[in-house]
Every structure is written in C-alpha cells, then in structure tokens.
Structure 1
Amino acid sequence: MGDWRQNWAAVAVRGGAAAIFGLALLFWPAPTLLTLIYIFGIFVLVEGVAAVVSGFSQPQGAGISWGLVAVGIIGILAGIATFVWPGVTGLILLYVIAFWAIAAGVTEIVAGIGLRQAANEWLLIVTGIVSLFFGLILLFAPVAGALAVTFFIGFFGVIYGALQLILAFRLRSLQEAGRA
C-alpha cells in the first residue's frame, strides 16, 4: 500500500467530481435518462482518470496501487460505454452504477485498512462502506421509482464526494505534518 498522503489532490478531484455529480442530480431531480447517462459518464470518466493517476503516483519505492488502477480503468470503461451506447436502458445503467460502486467500495475498504495501519486514518474505510452499501442496494432493489433512484444516486454522490474531500484535506495535513 503506497502513501496516499502524496495523492491528496487526486483524492480531492475524485471527491469534487462525486459531489458535483450528486448535487446536479439533487437539484435537477427529473433528468431524462439520456442526461443521467451523460452525467454519470462524465463523473466516472473524471473519477476513473483521477484513480488511475493516483494509483500510478505512489511515492518512489512504494509500488503501484493496482487496486486503485483497476477501479480507475473500470470507471473509464464505464464512462466510455455510456457515450458509445447512450441508448442503454435505465435498468442496465443502474446495474453498471451498482457494480462500479461495489468495486470501488471493496477497493477503498482494502486500501483504507492499509492506510489505517500507516496513518491511523479511517475516512477511506467509511467511504468504501458507503460505496459498497450503495452498490448493494442498487443491485438488489433496482426496481425503485426513477425519481427515488435519482435522489438516492444524488445523495450518494454528495456523501461520497464529501468523504473524499475530507479525506483529501486530511491526507494533505498528514503530508504537511510529515514534512515538519
């Protein structure tokens, strides 16, 4: 597990993208399916690129965080798929979001356990639990009303984004404390 303190800016980009995605859905609760697909596509592309950059931007000697790179690649592929096949049905989109959230959640929990051992940090584990819980709910209850799902996805984006932003600034302060 690399030193995530070095990558606080990439974590902040991920959090900002998630929060913007969530707020867009909360303040525009009845987007067309196509708009939802495009918003999701933009979000996972940005989040995926930031995750890949973060995975490869480990401190010298720490190695590459392959789990983070894998989640980033999944996000990039999911984002590209939303633009290549925008006619995808709402149910398929929900499953794409569900599987992405589950993969992100598991990876974040595992990475958070490693970070906790290194820096006594728990926010990444909480973010992973939120992602995993969200993905499982979408996977096992996809038939919920479209508006309810939109709000649920919006709240998830805001919570996930806020946790990522808090984590980013916590990592930055840990990095600065390490230099002192």
Structure 2
Amino acid sequence: MLELLSRRWHMVVLRGVVAVLFGVVAIAWPGITVLSLALLFGAYTLLDGISALTMGFGHGTRSDRMYMVLLGVLGVAAGLISLIWPQITVIVLLVIIAVWAIVAGVTQIAAAIRLRKVIRNEWFLALTGAVALVLGVLLIVQPAEGAIALVVAIATFALAWGLVLIVLGLRLRTIANRTASAGRPA
C-alpha cells in the first residue's frame, strides 16, 4: 500500500485540496439550501470517489487497490445519488453522508493499522479516518440539529480531513522521492 500511496501522492494532495475548497465554500455560505448542499456534497464526493478509483486502478497489490476501489465506488455512488435526487430530505442526505463518513473512516483507520509497521507517522492516515468516523457518528446521533449545523459540521470535517490529507500527501511525496533517489545509480 505504501508504494501505491507514495507513487500517487499527488492524488492524496488533490483529495485534500478538494476537501478544503468544499469546506471553505460551505462555511462561506452556511445558509445554503438543502438542494444546494446536496449538489455541493454530490460534486465533492463524486470527485473524491473518482480520485480514489484512479488510485485503485493503478499499480499495487490487489488488496491495496481493492481498498481504494471500495472507497472510490462508495464516493461515486454517494455523489451520484446526491446529484440525481437533489430533492431528498435532510434526513436521507444526512444518513448518506453519515454512512459514507463511517465507512470511509473505518477503512482509513484499517489502512493506518496495516501500515503502522511500514511507515512512520501513519497516524495522519488514522486521523483522517477518525475525523470521518466522528462526523458519521455525530450525524446519526444528533440528526435534528438542522441544515445549518450540518453544513458547519461537514465544512469543519472537510477542512480538517483536507488539511490532514494534504500533509499526508506531502509526507508520501518525501517517501517517494527518497525511494526514487535510493534506486538511482550513484
């Protein structure tokens, strides 16, 4: 998995940048309608899912690629559902977001545990999973807080997740550069 992630570090950074942009837009306009939130969330998860699928169809072990493909398929499905049926209720949207966040969080934590003996500071990956998992659980436990609270929670999550993904991607770039320079003839 380290090889897959370090070779595609730029995709990890791209996912982080998209998450940060989504968070900034959501905070800048917290009064957006549920329809706008559904469309914005749909666009974000669709792009995130496509990025994960791109990584999953690259080189790497089968299990590593399957992890990224699973995350990508989930993101694409959540994005398409939100874009195709933007009139869905806040509760349905909340459940879609919560399930996506819980599954994404658990898979990212599992990947961090798998990588704990391979890389240092795998806690960056675990932290992205923990942030997603906490968001998902909070959305299920307190669904009646309203659309504005949902926007703020999602924006905060997206900013935190995006920043952590950017840091992780840059660390992966360092690993990729070290690996590449170690393989070059002197």
Regions of 4+ moved over 3 Å: none
Q: Is the 8 A contact 2:38 2:86 kept in 1?
A: yes
Q: Is the 8 A contact 2:2 2:119 kept in 1?
A: no
SS at match of 2:112: helix
Q: Is the 8 A contact 2:109 2:126 kept in 1?
A: yes
Q: Residue 184 of structure 2 corresponds to which residue in structure 1?
A: none
Deviation at 1:2, TM superposition (A): 5.0
Q: Residue 117 of structure 2 corresponds to which residue in structure 1?
A: 117
Matches for 1:60-139 after TM superposition, within 5 Å:
62-63=61-62, 64-120=64-120, 121-139=122-140
Q: Does 2:155 match 1:175?
A: no
Q: Residue 55 of structure 2 corresponds to which residue in structure 1?
A: 54
Tell me the distance in 2 between the aligned counterparts of 1:167 and 1:57.
Answer: 19
Q: Does 2:168 match 1:163?
A: no
Deviation at 1:114, TM superposition (A): 2.1
Deviation at 1:53, TM superposition (A): 1.1
Residue by residue, what CA displacement relative to the aligned partner does 1:41-75 show, whole Å, maximum 9, x if unpaired?
Answer: 0000000011111122234xx33521221111011
SS at match of 1:159: helix
Q: Is the 8 A contact 1:2 1:58 kept in 2?
A: no
Tell me which moved more, 116-125 or 68-77: 116-125
Q: Is the 8 A contact 1:123 1:163 kept in 2?
A: yes
Residue by residue, what CA displacement relative to the aligned partner does 1:105-125 show, whole Å, maximum 9, x if unpaired?
Answer: 011011112222211222001
Q: Percent identity?
A: 36
Q: Specify the code of the residue in structure 1 equivalent to 2:90.
A: G
Q: Is the 8 A contact 1:7 1:58 kept in 2?
A: no
Tell me which moved more, 31-40 or 10-19: 10-19
Matched length: 178
Gaps of 5+ in 1: none
TM-score between both structures, scaled by the size of structure 1 = 0.94
Q: Specify the code of the residue in structure 1 equivalent to 2:174.
A: S
Q: Specify the code of the residue in structure 2 equivalent to 1:12.
A: V
